[in-house]
A and B are shown apart, each in its own frame.
Chain A
């Protein structure tokens, strides 16, 4: 053993090593997403965001050209009124990526990839933060397996391709909570980072509204004893990170969203302003349809089992098993971290022997547990719409993955105990175990592409089993992309196609990217055109029946399947108009 002080280079390497690993995870994931994006059609919402991003990019371009009126209300509203039901951060990044990487610098040939790239990068950064959290809170093994477990969730993999907000807001959640957790060590730097990060999260998607509830709950539960003691002395200390969130969060939110620059709280004539409109849109969101266990749920009460059921049936089973092991291992520590319980224990001396001091004052396990539960909390209510499938609780998944990382680390340590002295390389058992345990998730994720929303775990029998029990096969109409080769080969020149759930912008992007023949035109009525497609979802069966009427035949000419399950049917009318 040497007592020499590590060199500056060694210290620098030690400091940067976690980030080098995180960056590597990020870059590899982004490269895989870029490589596989070509085979993925464009979701409905992507179409809306293509349009919004282009419009916002036009405004940014005007800013760069120093146009004098660009910050006036008419100019701002002309650009930012588009799709103002969602904040602008990701759409701005989609637009800037398209503007520079595709339009100006020609670094990315496909428009869609330029739009989608920021979402992919956010997916990669999500792995980075998950790794860092696992590493700093426990060790490299926990962090690395957690990042892999997150990357290899089929639904996450699908959504990480898109120019949408669900994976980005997942990343923002884990980033905010990581900063908050670091801030619990004390100091101003991480507290400010928490505030800024929450502002960015607010600017990403409205899921971020729930973060303060989590932070306050965590603070109260883990600092309960001190809070009660302080309260007796008429003191009410707040964590700096919470103060930073309260101050910086709204500032960042408004500053980065030009649409909010005018009529923020109220209009000139006293009516509720844009903030109220934005909040109201999400609090009063329409109930879309979603199939679960053979029933089309379209209005409350929704099944409270939905979120748990969908986690069970879509997240790879090995990840869930390891997460359960990780949770079981950490339960006692979580109870010790909950110093709020001390307030009760102090009054019941008989319980005191159950309590033991916890070394970590930061409430790490409780934060991970709350990080998993709070994003799921809206679905504890039967009034919360379920139309988004699993994507709406993605922020829970990095914490589920960390629990899986904890489970893996424990299993690996047990394996190492058993083979100690029997293998030449000490790193080999855990590495091999990690590879073996990651393989099922890797296999499931690879197999899910490009039908990520149709994929279900073997617990329910995969996609065929899910179809039998009545689970949603897809939404957003993106699977039209998988029919491009068929249309390119079979459709006559200029044929019209009723494109059902696919938006015009999504169809058009297939053509702009050069995948789909440009002569094929979308039509908007079932009776028009030569072809009609149906994206199979339970509540969309009526479109099948409409086509039977319009074409006077129930016969399909092509059925796109995934593991034998019909995903999209194509009909061709006998006589064209």
Chain B
């Protein structure tokens, strides 16, 4: 057994994964001009699973249509087969999934990762991609602070956006997820302010 010491631990102000429930968070699905709130549901039965079945939704989630169009905390298997605890936000075709957090203490950076579950990201047995790139856009009080696009084979991809202009105060932070080819985008992101 080895004991490793983080030489420069970050001071995390707010971990979004720990706040994916009302009243801290809300979720909307935008289909064109149609803006629809996704209902939160807790105490769900977590069932299913097995090889190739992908990440299981947790007991708490915002329901936004099909069974896979939810927003909630799950653990995906990344391209290195590591488990990543993150916020599932499968993009919708022609629309945008928006997850908003209220009263977030913002620091100098908005830091995080995003990825697609292994079997969806690796492609099929013939080397074909199963879906398109997924864009993650972060907004503070409605103002974009950064965008990161995840392409297949990028694995658990990091992002870091400059939020120094808002540092030291609390704000509304939103994450928009979109993809031009949304099929098989078992997409998940995590983030914090620091």
Contacts and interface: CB of A to CB of B under 8 A. Distances in A.
Interface stretch (B23-31, B75-83, B168-176): B75-83
B66 interface: no
B96 to A, nearest CB: 26
B125 A298 contact: yes
Given A287-B125, A542-B118, A548 B83 contact: yes
Nearest to B123: A299
Contacts of A27: none
Given A296-B81, A526-B47, A549 B58 contact: yes
The interface size bin for chain A is 20 to 34
Given A286-B125, A298-B122, A299-B127, A545 B76 contact: yes
B50 A549 contact: no
A525 B49 contact: yes
B10 interface: no
A299 B122 CA distance: 10
A541 B54 CA distance: 10
- SS of B interface (majority): loop
Interface string B32-66: 00000000000001111111111111110000000
Contacts of B119: 542
Interface in B84-122: 117-119, 122
Contact of A525 (B48, B55, B57, B124): B48
A501 B81 contact: no
Contacts of A550: 46-47, 49, 56
Interface string A524-536: 1111100000000
B83 A541 contact: yes
A548 B76 CA distance: 11
A524 B82 CA distance: 24
A539 interface: yes
B45 to A, nearest CB: 6
Contact of A524 (B50, B54, B57, B117): B50
A547 interface: yes
B74 interface: yes
Contact of A552 (B59, B77, B117, B122): B59
B55 A542 contact: yes
Contacts, number: 84
B2 to A, nearest CB: 12
Contacts of B125: 286-287, 298-299
A296 B79 CA distance: 10
Nearest to B73: A549
Given A527-B46, A548-B83, A550-B56, A299 B51 contact: no
A565 interface: no
A542 B120 CA distance: 12
A528 B53 CA distance: 15
A544 B76 CA distance: 10
Contacts of B77: 541-542, 545
Interface in A359-389: none
A525 B51 contact: no
Interface string A282-325: 00001100000000101100000000000000000000000000
Given A527-B49, A544-B83, A549 B57 contact: yes
Contact of B126 (A299, A525, A543, A545): A299
A541 B82 CA distance: 7
Given A299-B127, A550-B46, A552-B58, A545 B83 contact: yes
A527 B81 contact: no
A546 interface: yes
A513 to B, nearest CB: 26
A343 interface: no
Contacts of A542: 51-55, 77, 81, 117-119
Among A498, A539, A546, max chain B CB count under 10 A is at A546
Interface string A497-514: 010110000000000000
Interface in A179-195: none
A299 B58 CA distance: 31
B50 A543 contact: yes
Contacts of B122: 298
A527 B55 contact: no
A287 B117 CA distance: 19
B75 A527 contact: no
Contacts of B46: 526-527, 549-550, 552
Given A545-B76, A550-B56, A527 B48 contact: yes
Interface of A: 286-287, 296, 298-299, 498, 500-501, 524-528, 538-550, 552
The 3 closest A-B pairs by CB, nearest first: A526-B49, A527-B47, A546-B49
24 contacts: A286-B125, A287-B125, A500-B50, A501-B51, A524-B50, A525-B48, A527-B45, A527-B47, A539-B81, A539-B118, A541-B83, A542-B53, A542-B77, A543-B50, A545-B75, A545-B76, A546-B50, A546-B55, A546-B75, A549-B55, A549-B74, A550-B49, A552-B46, A552-B59
Interface of B: 45-59, 74-77, 81-83, 117-119, 122, 124-127
